[in-house]
Each structure stands twice: as structure tokens, then as C-alpha cells.
């Protein structure tokens, strides 16, 4: 049996960026990764624009929900192989200690939930952020330490615009 890597995505409200990253990693490489997401101030529900971005290509939206990062800090919590912060407020110096002290990195995306945004601007930011996360998740999947797929499995692809941003190193 091949090891499944556990990745935790963090974002303040866990209603958009981290949820999108969790869903994409699960959809694109769920046979090699267990994806989770959480935040320090979880929202009551997923942001509707995040659901709209995910609905066309994600097979199981029902497993997604905002969660507190405290769910991942106890002795019983799954031991992560990587923690990815998706906003400045949840970076390594703000995040709690996770069991096993997993390595962490930061992916910087503009907050599409910012105040004083017109709905059309918010929709544009969600679309841009979605494709940035697609590229980052794809780059993570292809990192050498995670690249070997079990025999008989192929990695799904989502067609994205050109230009791949720099991906963090997981170690």
C-alpha cells in the first residue's frame, strides 16, 4: 500500500481559499493525498462563490465544511505531512502547533472576501484566485517528494490559463 500524504490548508474563515484548495487536491490526486482545511475563525457555511467555482468539476461538495483548526491539534488528530497557509493571518507564527510538527509553507492569494468590493469585482477575484490555486495544487502534486503515483492511477487535470506561479517547497 502506498502512503497517502496528509495536507492541511489554512485560511482565516475556511470558507473559500482553503476549501477550494482542499477540494482540488482531493479531486486531482485523492488517491495519493488526504486533503483537509481549517481556520481560526470558521464561517458558518461555505462562501457561495467558492461553491460556484467548484460545482462544475468537483464530484463531492458534500464533504466540504468550514472547520476550526483546533480540530487538528489534539493527540487524536491526523498527523499532517504538510500545512499550507493561504493567508497572512494564519502563517506559521500564528498557527497552533500541529501533531508531529509538520513542515509548512505559505501561498499568497488576494482575499476575494475583502470589504467594499462590488459583486462583479468579487466574482473576478474569485475566478482569478481559483485558477491560481489550481496551478499551486498542481505544482504541489508534481513535487518530487509527492510525484510518484501508485500503479494504475492517473492524475486528473484541470485546464488552466498559462503562467504558473512559483510553488512553495514542502520541506
* Strand (E) or helix (H) holding 124: helix 119-142
Q: Tens digits of per-residue pLDDT, 26-73? A: 999 999 999 999 999 999 999 988 888 888 877 678 889 999 999 999
Q: CA 53 → CA 32, 34, 49, 68, 123, distances in Å?
A: 23, 21, 6, 23, 10
Average pLDDT of the residues of the chain: 83
- pTM here is 0.83
**Residue appearing with cell numbers 509553507:** 105
Q: Tens digits of per-residue pLDDT, 80-116? A: 999 999 988 787 678 899 999 999 999 988 888 877 8
Structural domains of the chain, with CATH:
5-142 (3.40.50.2300)
Q: Check if the beta carbon of residue 117 is closer than 8 Å to that of residue 129.
A: no
Where are the extended beta strands (E) located within the chain? 5-10, 33-38, 82-85, 104-106
pLDDT at 170: 38
Amino acid at each position: 500500500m502506498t502512503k497517502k500524504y496528509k495536507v492541511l490548508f489554512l485560511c482565516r474563515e475556511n470558507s473559500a481559499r482553503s476549501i477550494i484548495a482542499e477540494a482540488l487536491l482531493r479531486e486531482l490526486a485523492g488517491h495519493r493525498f488526504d486533503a483537509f482545511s481549517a481556520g481560526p475563525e470558521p464561517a458558518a457555511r461555505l462562501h457561495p462563490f467558492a461553491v460556484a467555482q467548484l460545482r462544475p468539476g468537483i464530484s463531492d461538495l458534500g464533504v466540504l465544511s468550514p472547520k476550526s483548526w483546533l480540530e487538528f491539534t489534539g493527540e487524536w488528530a491526523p498527523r499532517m505531512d504538510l500545512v499550507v497557509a493561504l493567508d497572512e493571518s494564519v502563517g506559521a507564527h500564528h498557527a497552533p502547533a500541529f501533531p508531529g510538527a509538520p513542515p509548512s509553507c505559505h501561498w499568497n492569494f488576494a482575499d476575494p472576501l475583502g470589504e467594499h468590493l462590488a459583486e462583479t469585482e468579487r466574482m473576478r477575484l474569485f475566478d482569478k484566485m481559483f485558477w491560481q490555486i489550481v496551478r499551486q495544487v498542481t505544482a504541489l502534486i508534481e513535487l518530487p517528494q509527492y510525484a510518484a503515483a501508485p500503479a494504475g492511477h492517473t492524475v486528473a487535470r484541470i485546464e488552466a490559463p498559462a503562467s504558473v506561479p512559483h510553488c512553495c517547497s514542502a520541506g
